[in-house]
Amino acid sequence: MASMKVHIRFPENKIKEPVIYQIGHEFKVVTNVRRADVRETTGWMDVELTGESTEVERAVAGLRTKGVIVDPIELELDV
């Protein structure tokens, strides 16, 4: 199992989209919102993604495809 913490920034046009929900359903990852500040026109979240390493990587790519900015915070691999 792999776990990756990412910092996600939402452009104004993505604030109302359920991006985290979608990622949890489209990929085999568990999403855990650790911190967040979401307002009318801007927002960010620190999210932990857990699953097989390939699925975690696919989920991060999926987030970027959806138009949010993703920066890794921390990666943990359980071997």
Domains and CATH numbers, the chain: 2-77 (3.30.70.260)
Tell me what pLDDT residue 70 has. 97
pLDDT tens per residue, the chain (79 residues)? Answer: 899 999 999 999 999 999 999 999 999 999 999 999 999 999 999 999 999 999 999 999 999 999 999 999 976 755 4
Rg from Cα positions in the chain: 12
pLDDT at site 1: 87
Return contacts of 10-15, CB within 8 angstroms, 24+ apart: 10/38, 10/42, 10/43, 10/44, 10/45, 10/68, 10/69, 11/67, 11/68, 11/69, 12/41, 12/42, 13/67, 14/66, 14/67, 14/68, 15/39, 15/40, 15/41, 15/42, 15/43
pTM for the structure as a whole: 0.89
